[in-house]
């Protein structure tokens, strides 16, 4: 399984600075959807803390986190949303220099100024009214600031995956041959490892089987090409798909919308 290398002192300094300046809860969730601990961050709000004491509500919180982490990972953009209790939260997906997903910066637990929480069933003495207020626009502004910070964290490898040499060789080979049909034997030769070694170790190191990883890499590259102005047809052929229809079908299965719809946005 992929492990993290964290420059703890610098990361703790960054998190502490954000806490003092913004006075909101900002944390980091890893690839498995778990919160990295040990940083100087604002404590969970009394309302959320009380909710998580109830096993059923806690499971809903965890499910909400996972669902939105996946959305942030797939869209690769600032993701602002209302959690299942009605609080505003945001996520910034973080990628390393190889454009591999590392996890997400998560912030929020803020009450929406534009929502009437009494209409949502909360009484006047509910702990939710102690949560700081915000708006979706303010959340997007905070998200934009944190996005710049995430790029600094990535560029300076303050958080990075502890990849092995053979895994880095495979990453480089796949990146250079995305348009080709890559086999396990080709990867074994590139990494100077046996096919049986890769068959056994690839899913543990990359978090998914080879076929799924290749699809993930192609879809990430597709976003870059579409955002650069390439047409759907040009993107399909540059990534080695034999026709535009097949590419669009796989894109929709991965992102939940067609590449044409994505370009319209």
Domains of the chain: 4-161 (3.30.450), 165-264 (1.10.10.60)
Question: So what's the pLDDT on residue 163?
Answer: 63
Question: So what's the pLDDT on residue 215?
Answer: 87
Angstrom distances, CA of residue 74 to CA of 11, 53, 257: 25, 31, 11
Q: What percent of the chain has pLDDT over 70?
A: 96
Exposure string over 32-49, b if 16+ CB within 10 A, otherwise e: ebeebeebebbeebebbe
Angstrom distances, CA of residue 95 to CA of 74, 129, 151, 210, 241: 12, 35, 8, 20, 25
Question: So what's the pLDDT on residue 4?
Answer: 64
Q: Which residues contact 196 (CB under 8 A, 6 or more apart)?
A: none
**47 with 131: CB under 8 angstroms?**
yes
Residue pLDDT, tens place only, 2-50: 456 677 788 888 988 998 999 999 999 987 788 887 778 899 999 999 9
Q: What is the pTM of this model?
A: 0.63
Question: So what's the pLDDT on residue 110?
Answer: 97
């Amino acid at each position: 399984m992929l492990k993290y290398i964290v420059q703890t002192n610098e990361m703790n300094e960054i998190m502490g600075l954000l806490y003092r300046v913004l006075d909101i809860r900002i944390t980091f969730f890893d690839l498995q959807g778990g919160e990295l601990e040990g940083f100087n961050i604002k404590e969970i709000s009394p309302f959320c803390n009380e909710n998580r004491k109830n096993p059923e509500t806690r499971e809903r919180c965890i499910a909400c986190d996972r669902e939105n982490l996946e959305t942030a990972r797939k869209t690769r953009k600032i993701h602002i949303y209302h959690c299942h209790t009605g609080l505003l939260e945001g996520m910034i997906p973080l990628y390393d220099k190889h454009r591999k997903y590392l996890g997400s910066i998560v912030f929020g637990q803020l009450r929406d100024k534009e929502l009437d929480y009494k209409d949502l069933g909360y009484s006047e003495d509910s702990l939710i009214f102690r949560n700081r207020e915000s708006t979706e626009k303010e959340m997007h502004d905070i998200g934009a600031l944190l996005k710049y910070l995430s790029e600094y964290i990535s560029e300076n490898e303050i958080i990075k995956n502890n990849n092995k040499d053979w895994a880095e060789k495979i990453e480089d080979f796949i990146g250079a041959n995305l348009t080709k049909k890559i086999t396990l034997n080709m990867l074994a030769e590139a990494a100077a490892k046996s096919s049986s070694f890769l068959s056994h170790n690839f899913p543990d190191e990359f978090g998914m089987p080879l076929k799924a990883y290749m699809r993930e890499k192609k879809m990430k590259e597709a976003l870059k090409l579409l955002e650069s102005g390439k047409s759907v047809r040009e993107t399909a052929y540059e990534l080695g798909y034999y026709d535009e229809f097949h590419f669009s079908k796989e894109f929709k299965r991965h992102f939940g919308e067609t590449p044409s719809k994505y370009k319209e946005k």
